[in-house]
Amino acid sequence: MKNYTTVAIVAFAAIISFWILGNAYKYKFKAAETISVTGLAEKDFVSDQIVWTGNYSRKMMDLKDAYTYLKEDEVKIKTYLKGKGIAENEMVFSAVNIDKDFTTKYDENGRQTGSEFTGYNLKQNVTVDSKDINKVEKISREVTELIQSGIEFNSSSPSYYYTKLSELKIDLLAKASADAKQRAETIAKNSGSGLGKIKKATMGVFQITGKNSNEDYSYGGALNTSSKNKTASITAKIDYAAN
């Protein structure tokens, strides 16, 4: 009788153990069910800030003379920009960069025999930072008028920026999250399950490219400065629990 009782207890314990293990596996399997989606949001916008740089130089044998002429050029350029409507606090003149130029000398056999000093080359930049994009664009195209004043002025292409990137990023992130949720709901509905709480959310890379351009996206996030009209995009990866 004792043996039967022992066998019954062992059998009952085995049944309980299998039941616990079965439910634990079922719970683990259920808990592991996740719907992972990536939401995307894009927005076109127009830059509200322009930065434009030009450079000019003077080359002379005498350093003092070269510096004097370069500073006279600075005054003329400042006067020119003010006449075009640029405020003094919108322009910044860099420090003067001084280089010594040399030319290589050769003998009649083409062998290098040394070098000869050809003068001091002094260079300076002026940078205009403004919110009036159309005005600065026009100046960047017409600034060659300074050549008539005897100034060898070279104009660079303007760079365009947007001063409200933080607000733009927050808005896009909200839209990307909403897009991700909509995708997850569609997957859950088509698979016959429900959508649970968020288990994990990760913001993707924030990219700014030229509008309608074929720029490549970068791992660290593209930041276009050459186009006035831009497109911002962001992704959001979200993991939902499936009910």
Residue 97 has pLDDT above 90, yes or no: yes
User: Is residue 2, in this structure, part of any structural domain at all?
Assistant: no
Residue 214 DSSP one-character state: -
pTM confidence score: 0.78
Q: For 4-18, 105-119, 204-218, which range has the lowest pLDDT when averaged over its residues?
A: 4-18
Q: What is the CA 149 to chain-centroid distance, rounded?
A: 39
Structure tokens at 233: 């995009």
DSSP string, 135-168: HHHHHHHHGGGGGGGT--EEEPPPEEE-TTHHHH
User: Is residue 65, in this structure, part of any structural domain at all?
Assistant: yes
Torsion of CA 136, 139, 141, 147, to 10 degrees: -150
CATH number for position 190: 3.30.110.170
Number of domains forming the structure of the chain: 2
Q: For 61-65, 80-84, 106-110, 226-230, which range has the lowest pLDDT when averaged over its residues?
A: 106-110
Which residue range is the domain that position 72 belongs to?
A: 49-161
The Cα 59–Cα 118 span in angstroms is 9
Write down which residue in 143, 161, 179 finishes a domain. Answer: 161
Write down which residue in 161, 177, 208 finishes a domain. Answer: 161
DSSP string, 78-112: HHHHHHTT--GGGEEEPPPEEEEEEEEEE-TTS-E
User: Is residue 15, in this structure, part of any structural domain at all?
Assistant: no
For the chain, the distance separating the N- and C-terminal CA atoms, rounded to the nearest angstrom, is 49
Q: Are residues 130 and 173 in the same domain?
A: no
Q: Are residues 54 and 133 in the same domain?
A: yes
Q: Are residues 197 and 101 in the same domain?
A: no
**% of the chain surpassing 70 pLDDT:** 87
The Cα 128–Cα 86 span in angstroms is 8
Given pLDDT bands bounded at 50, 70 and 90, which one contains residue 24?
A: very low
Mean pLDDT score of the chain, rounded to an integer? 87
Pairing of strands 112-130, 153-155: unpaired
Beta bridge partners of 159: 51
Q: Cβ distance 80 to 97 under 8 Å?
A: no
Q: Are residues 105 and 199 in the same domain?
A: no
Q: Cβ distance 17 to 216 under 8 Å?
A: no
Q: Are residues 58 and 119 in the same domain?
A: yes
User: Is residue 24, in this structure, part of any structural domain at all?
Assistant: no
Q: Are residues 60 and 101 in the same domain?
A: yes
The Cα 57–Cα 73 span in angstroms is 9
Given pLDDT bands bounded at 50, 70 and 90, which one contains residue 221?
A: confident
Write down which residue in 136, 161, 186 finishes a domain. Answer: 161
User: Is residue 118, in this structure, part of any structural domain at all?
Assistant: yes
Question: What mean pLDDT do residues 3-17 have?
Answer: 48
| Distances 158 to 53, 66, 121, 230 between C-alpha atoms, Å | 7, 28, 25, 15
Q: Cβ distance 45 to 172 under 8 Å?
A: no
Q: Are residues 56 and 104 in the same domain?
A: yes
Determine the pLDDT at residue 215: 78
